[in-house]
Amino acid sequence: MGEEREVQIPADQVVLEGNLGLPESPGGVVLFAHGTGSGRHSPRNNYVARRLREAGLATLLIDLLTAEEEEADLRTGHLRFDIALLARRLLGATDWLGNNPDTADLPAGYFGASTGAAAALVSAAERPGEVRAIVSRGGRPDLSGEALSRVRAPTLLIVGGRDEPVIGMNREAMDRLDVKKKLEIVPGATHLFEEPGALEEVARLAAGWFTRYLE
């Protein structure tokens, strides 16, 4: 069973919209950092979130940009690659989880997609004691810069087997990560994991990683 509800999260001088999902007796909480042009209504991340809740983990999906910022970004594209901004928003949401009675005592992890994965890695580097695990789906860890070497949370990088440029970026990131780490390549999958069974495999891998390192 459990419950889902909409929440508002003050972060970085704005208020972000989010969806908090709470299974019964969760063993941890996973904060989703959405990627380029995506948000809390992303069907892909909502699918993964449902699977994580079935595995006994709470989930928080948020829009890292306000509605006005999203509208501006559709025209200019200038915010989706502002990793420092996205990371500040993510840290604000992490603080919110730590102050919310339903999640304050739960170990926290990040699930990042595309540019959101870079923001997750930067944020985790800033909070080495608070963020316990990271999963990246089709992520751009190369955009996290020197923060990669400061990440202390076990990190799983998931990439589609046909997403060749991103595979290379993730291999290079693996070399710079100095933590428990793993690169999983899903055969036949492209960047959005739209092929039959691809997203199911992402969810399976993510649930395994988070239950191992959060609970």
Q: What is the pLDDT along the chain (215 residues), one digit of tens a residue?
A: 589 999 999 998 999 999 999 999 999 999 999 866 667 888 999 999 999 999 999 999 999 988 888 888 777 777 778 899 999 999 999 999 999 999 999 999 999 999 999 999 999 999 998 999 999 999 999 999 999 999 999 999 999 999 999 999 999 999 999 999 999 999 999 999 999 999 999 999 999 999 999 97
By the 10 Å C-beta count (0-12 exposed, 13-18 middle, 19+ buried), 63 is classed as buried
Closest-CA residue to 199 (of 160, 170, 163)? 160
pLDDT of residue 37: 63
| CA separation for the pair 174, 70 (Å, rounded) | 31
Cβ distance 40 to 116 under 8 Å? no
| CA separation for the pair 190, 198 (Å, rounded) | 9
pLDDT of residue 22: 98
Set out the domains of the chain in order of their start, with CATH numbers.
3-214 (3.40.50.1820)
The conformational region for residue 147 under phi > 0 = left, psi -120 to 50 = alpha, else beta, is alpha
Could you say which DSSP state residue 40 is in?
T
Q: Which two tokens stand for residue 110?
A: 């990040």
Report in angstroms the alpha-carbon separations of 192 from 62, 146, 161. 19, 27, 11
